Amino acid sequence: MNRTTIAALAVAATTLLAACGQDAPAAPTPTASTTTATPVAAKVSRPSLVVNEDGSAVVTAFVQNVQAEETSIAGITVLSGEDVLPVLTTPMSMPLPPDTELRIGYATDAGGFVVPTGVTAGGSYRLVLGFDNGTCRVVVSEAVERTDEHRAIYPRTKTFAGAVRSARQGPEGCTEG
């Protein structure tokens, strides 16, 4: 990741936090070590955004906790270029026991992560996954149309049963890949 991209991501996340009425963390100084300084909590593989018929999209990926202690996904941010897209989820968090791989957005997920608008099938997006132990990962994801192959990916619409919260997570200091 180049310095311009790091700076743009930091500005986008800071703007989002300020718009939500929260104090924004200080933006990191873009250096080569910015993307590798944070310890890795999890490996993320096969990320995808599955676009529903109503125009919303579901975040799905395989996430493996590589640390000795349990962690959980604290939030996810979806970036389209420099734009931060809203992500909604339920108040429940998805625990990640040590040495376990789970699939977010799958039928066993506690609530799923939904982008209500702004995702187009065929597009490329950056996902920032934040964990409750303060670590995070940034991965690139393609958006795909929902097909029968995605029948176990939930939710299938942007409507949740019950409470909903924003799932934002800034990219500052996150590990790439």
Q: How far is CA 69 from CA 22, 42, 61, 74, 116, in A?
A: 29, 11, 21, 15, 33
The pLDDT, as a whole number, for residue 132 is 87
The pLDDT, as a whole number, for residue 152 is 78
Q: What is the pLDDT of residues 120-152, one digit of tens each?
A: 999 999 999 988 888 889 999 999 999 988 887
**Of 47, 54, 50, which is closest to residue 117 (Cα–Cα)?**
54
Domains of the chain: 34-176 (2.60.40.1890)
pTM value is 0.70
Decide: 57 and 47 in contact? Cβ < 8 Å. no
| φ and ψ of 61, to 5 deg | -170, 160
- Residue ranges in the chain modelled with pLDDT below 70: 1-39, 107-111, 159-173, 175, 177
